[in-house]
Amino acid sequence: MAPAEIGDRLRALPPGTAVTLKLDPREYADQYFSVLTAALRDVGSGANTHTIYVAVTSPAAFVWSLAQALDVPADRVSFVDAISHLMMHYENPLPNATYVESPRALESIMLRVEYLLRRTRSPRSTVIVDSVNSLAIHNPPELLSEFLHILLNNLKSRQVLTLVLETTEEQAASVEQLLNLVVDETIDMARLGP
């Protein structure tokens, strides 16, 4: 599916919707770039919009380089980076990023998202979490379940569009069950086709 089609589908969702975007591991790079293009450029660059990207898999610096290639304005995106410290990729912190020590610091991630939502006060906000699979590697299922429940319900109540990236894998059945309890819609990128 082309980024413009994904963008159209995301823009059609009502505010406060939580969506899982399931990426096929065999097509991960292409699907990830399509989702980022749709979310950051097509949805997140509109007037009065702001995107908060929770970086758990890819460091904020990498995502920001992709956003710059897509001509996303710097004032339209902020990052909560929970992976750069762990990857020792922290030498040049971004001015539009806040850094969390580890993907295990779930409460810190929630507090940083809350802080950025209050600071930007955008009428139309989007939060992207990449990826729930990485969070599942670093956190026990009960803790991750509680985190997702609190975070997503809080974002829904504030009318924030929330996108949660998930990689479809055989061993990820428990992650999928967890997400099914808290998201409103699932978009399976593998089933949408090229």
What is the per-residue pLDDT across 23-68, written as a single tens digit (0 to 9) for each?
A: 999 999 999 999 999 999 888 877 789 999 999 999 999 999 999 9
Instruction: Indicate if the pLDDT at residue 2 is higher than 60.
Output: yes
| 101 Cβ contact partners less than 8 Å away, ≥ 6 residues apart | 82, 85, 86, 108
User: Which CATH number characterizes residue 169's domain?
Assistant: 3.40.50.300
Handedness of CA 133, 23, 169, 174 (dihedral sign): positive
Contact at 8 Å (CB) between 113 and 151? yes
**Residue of 187, 179, 69, 76 lying closest to 133 (CA atoms):** 179
Instruction: Give, in degrees to the nearest 5, the angle at Cα 58 between 178 and 134.
Output: 25
d(CA 18, CA 152): 7
What is the per-residue pLDDT across 76-133, written as a single tens digit (0 to 9) for each?
A: 999 999 998 877 666 778 899 999 999 999 999 999 999 999 998 888 999 999 989 9
Which structural domain range is residue 31 located in?
3-7+14-123+131-192
**Residue of 7, 48, 60 lying closest to 159 (CA atoms):** 48
Task: Give how many domains the chain has, as a whole number.
Answer: 1
Task: Give me the chain's average pLDDT, please.
Answer: 89
